[in-house]
Structure 1
């Protein structure tokens, strides 16, 4: 069943849908929206079961998240748009483009993963299993250490606590469900089908969505560009929107439509 997700619309110009990741909120993109709203109508939303969006009834998969995004597009009456997502959002966007290619002006795949080796996949599954065995709370420090650089964590413990609280405030079944989707989705077999211009971007030290995987993603897509942000880990928009914004803005303006 489709969920009518809670959303915000800011700015003017061609539409840009921004899709957040696991246990996050549309607020992830606050800084990015601020830097793009002069040229783009930025649509941010909370995934089902996150933030202000309704809880789903039972388990769901990647295609259900695509359904939610398409329902939001229809509700807003937007014919074509740019679509960009972070982490799990970087899987939802391409899955949407595969199903609705004529709706997509460009794609942003930010800090996401494909072409995982068996070892890569096992590491992700182990994190999910640890949360099922021990509870989400005891694993949160492990997650935030993967998301933020040590320097940022030391300088901004308030932001780390804010991000942890987002996870705590997310229904545990929903959080584990979206983590399962992230762990089990493999875009490698079909990314070559996505013809839209794409920006593939990740942090140099992002353990789960590392440059090796992102180079393969960019190479597989017919019309993709790759940007690696030095020294950053996973939470690029919370820690360093000032560094992520310039290449994203440049790409979007060149493909503005």
Structure 2
């Protein structure tokens, strides 16, 4: 497995498919496995580059606290290591915030932006959710119980009615060891610190905003903030899906992503 390096932090990544470059950025407490169900279809039209953020997956744990700019620098290190001068960027949740900051700091590296279930500024509701998730991550020692709590918040009602929550968590844990509690807490703190709202008009990349009507973590106003704030942004609303549309309805998510990217 190849690694990129940013200031001694090693970042696991992989490349597959062929075509224009498409960078995939996962969000809080997620790794490259987030894209498993949609990546084969994306690979048919794009050379996809996926990586694990620091404190996630096979990437190194952070040596200490960090800020969103460190995650942007990690992302640039991955692009450099993968030989990508300019890429379409698809970011989910916190990955969408990283993508926004990347487009603001390095506009020459971003061919387009797709922001899935992301935000620009948290309100009181989202602050409460993020603080609860951070406190649960800090206080619950049992990995399975902690993941059940987080997945309950993240997944939509339709998904939770059709799949047992404990079974979902068992599959996640079977795929690899859970993040350390310290690592997850650091990532939730990044969520609490993130704010791009006033700078959105400076984003020049062609942007696609996807949000889901069943998203309990980041409900409708946050997708609307991005659509209103980024000049000429395209909007897609995914009906009845929760915070993880690439898992809950891969076909609808893939169709929306490719529908925007076709011709760009």
- 147, 158, 167: which is aligned to 1:140? 147
Question: What SS does the aligned partner of 1:52 have?
Answer: coil
Do structure 1's residue 196 and structure 2's residue 202 form an aligned pair?
no
Deviation for aligned residue 1:47: 1.1
Deviation for aligned residue 1:115: 3.2
In structure 2, the partner of 1:94 is 100
Deviation for aligned residue 1:9: 0.7
Do structure 1's residue 149 and structure 2's residue 149 form an aligned pair?
no
The number of residue pairs the alignment matches comes to 255
Cα deviations across residues 85-137 of structure 1 (Å, max 9, x unaligned)? 11110111111111100111001111112233234323322332343345574
Do structure 1's residue 247 and structure 2's residue 256 form an aligned pair?
yes
Q: Please, what TM-score do these two structures have when normalized by structure 1? A: 0.91
**Unmatched runs of 5 consecutive residues or more in structure 1:** none
Within a 5 Å distance, the mapping from 1:210-225 to structure 2 comes to: 210-225=219-234
Native 8 Å contact 1:81 1:105 kept in 2: yes
Cα distance, 1:127–1:51 mapped onto 2, change above 3 Å:
closer
Question: What SS does the aligned partner of 2:14 have?
Answer: strand
**Unmatched runs of 5 consecutive residues or more in structure 2:** 1-6
Please say which of residues 59-68 and 157-166 is displaced more in the overlay: 157-166
Cα deviations across residues 126-185 of structure 1 (Å, max 9, x unaligned)? 332343345574543332122223442343333343346679611211111011111221
Do structure 1's residue 61 and structure 2's residue 70 form an aligned pair?
no
- How far apart are the structure 2 equivalents of 1:67 and 1:61? 10
Cα deviations across residues 172-213 of structure 1 (Å, max 9, x unaligned)? 111110111112211212111111011110210112221221
- 200, 213, 237: which is aligned to 1:228? 237
Q: Please, what TM-score do these two structures have when normalized by structure 2? A: 0.89
- 173, 189, 205: which is aligned to 2:182? 173
Please say which of residues 129-138 and 167-176 is displaced more in the overlay: 129-138
Within a 5 Å distance, the mapping from 1:84-123 to structure 2 comes to: 84-123=90-129
In structure 2, the partner of 1:37 is 43
- How far apart are the structure 2 equivalents of 1:110 and 1:2? 30
Deviation for aligned residue 1:4: 2.9
Native 8 Å contact 1:195 1:223 kept in 2: no
Within a 5 Å distance, the mapping from 1:74-89 to structure 2 comes to: 74-89=80-95
Cα deviations across residues 27-53 of structure 1 (Å, max 9, x unaligned)? 111222111112110011111121111
Native 8 Å contact 1:82 1:107 kept in 2: yes
Q: Aligned-pair RMSD on alpha carbons?
A: 2.0
